[in-house]
Amino acid sequence: QQQVKQSPQSLIVQKGGISIINCAYENTAFDYFPWYQQFPGKGPALLIAIRPDVSEKKEGRFTISFNKSAKQFSLHIMDSQPGDSATYFCAASRYRAGTALIFGKGTTLSVSS
């Protein structure tokens, strides 16, 4: 398995600020890049995903930026709220049935009020 590298490991942001989490991948065969959000005691939940045919995708306060040449993608959370405090995972895989998501190691986000 190729590794997906995620940074930072933890992040503290003021309410209303912008949270930015970065990921880098190695396998150029990957063509599906989702972000998952996990609250304590719960399973990861799909937040937003992107494919390499676009460089940016926005859903509400959440935006993925994708740089194919650099093999990097990032999650931006605008107007961060205390309810956004959770662990965020980036992942990568082939966009086909049965392939496994390879996850980054996660970022613990704390939004202070």
Partner 1 sequence: DTAVSQTPKYLVTQMGNDKSIKCEQNLGHDTMYWYKQDSKKFLKIMFSYNNKELIINETVPNRFSPKSPDKAHLNLHINSLELGDSAVYFCASSPRPKDRGLPYGYTFGSGTRLTVV
> Which residues contribute to the site for partner 1 (CB under 8 A)?
1, 32, 34, 36, 38, 41-46, 49, 87, 89, 95-103, 105-106
CA distance 76 to 53: 19
Which is closer to partner 1, CB of 17 or CB of 52? 52
CA distance 84 to 73: 20
CB of 97: closest distance to partner 1 in angstroms? 5
Which is closer to partner 1, CB of 42 or CB of 113? 42
Which residues are CB-contacts of 97 (< 8 A; sequence separation ≥ 6)?
A: none
* Strand partners for 6: 23
CB of 110: closest distance to partner 1 in angstroms? 15
Task: State both tokens at 76.
Answer: 């931006």
Which is closer to partner 1, CB of 106 or CB of 111? 106
